Structure 1
Amino acid sequence: MTAMDDRPLDGRALISELEGHLLIEAARAEGRTEAARFTRPLWWLTDTQRAEVETRYAEHHLARTRRSWEDTARRAAQLRVEYAAVYRSLRRRLFTGAVLVTAGVVVLVVSLAPR
């Protein structure tokens, strides 16, 4: 139970949320590193200008990363639907084939049985 309400803790949800926070923080750190690398050769920038460029660059990097994650999640959902449809079709065909083979064996056994 949580201290805030009477709902039980969901371990999977908690782990997913923690993983999300860690991924976002890693993306932010990567953005800050890339921003510093980007501004390093821009020697003419003042410290204030450099900080502003780095902040904007890091924000842009995080937004681009988030869009990439969203696109990936959207495509994964599309693929899940497509593969589920293909899987159902293959199962149906396999079942139909099994029924036909079984019916063929039954007909063969009945026709070859002594009378």
Structure 2
Amino acid sequence: MQPDKNDDHGLWRIEGYLMGHAEVERARSQARSFTDQLPWLTTAQREEVERVYVVERTAAAHAMFQRICERAAELRAEYTERYLRLKARCVAVTATGTFLLAGVGTLALRLR
């Protein structure tokens, strides 16, 4: 059974969701650690600081993930282009070598 490209896309979406969820949990944990260092905050202030921290942190993480995805697409395009040029060169060298070898073989047979 051949894997479907849509299956890969679905897996990437699930992975992205899980990474995003983990990042939110990490931000919440760090926000709690941060507010624990500020014992003079009221409960409402603590909750607000934690909320703002999580929002800012997840926005920054989202922007970072977006930049990584864009760079990955750029690299994929760049490497695909390089691969195609290398492949064309290899085919050209192989064809040239084959024709030269055939020419030398033909010339050797005629000179016999």
TM-score between both structures, scaled by the size of structure 2: 0.85
Identify unmatched segments of 5+ residues in structure 1: 1-9
| Structure with the larger helix share | 2
Q: Secondary structure at the match of 1:42?
A: coil
Q: How far does residue 28 in structure 1 lie from its aligned partner after superposition?
A: 1.1
Q: Which residue of 2 aligns with 1:42?
A: 38
RMSD: 1.7
Q: Which runs of 4+ in 1 moved over 6 A?
A: none
Partners of 1:95 and 1:11 in 2: CA distance: 33
Aligned match for 2:106, one of 101, 104, 110: 110
Q: Does 1:99 align with 2:95?
A: yes
Q: Does 1:22 align with 2:45?
A: no
Letter in 1 for 2:101: V
Q: Which residue of 1 aligns with 2:76?
A: 80
Partners of 2:76 and 2:22 in 1: CA distance: 27
Letter in 1 for 2:88: R
Identify unmatched segments of 5+ residues in structure 2: 1-5
Letter in 2 for 1:55: R
Aligned match for 1:71, one of 67, 73, 88: 67
Partners of 1:32 and 1:97 in 2: CA distance: 58
Q: 1:27 to 1:75 in 2, by over 3 A?
A: same
Q: 1:11 to 1:103 in 2, by over 3 A?
A: closer
Partners of 2:59 and 2:77 in 1: CA distance: 27
Partners of 2:8 and 2:101 in 1: CA distance: 49
Aligned sequence identity (%): 29
Partners of 1:39 and 1:98 in 2: CA distance: 67
What is the total number of aligned residue pairs between the two structures? Answer: 106
Q: How far does residue 43 in structure 1 lie from its aligned partner after superposition?
A: 1.4
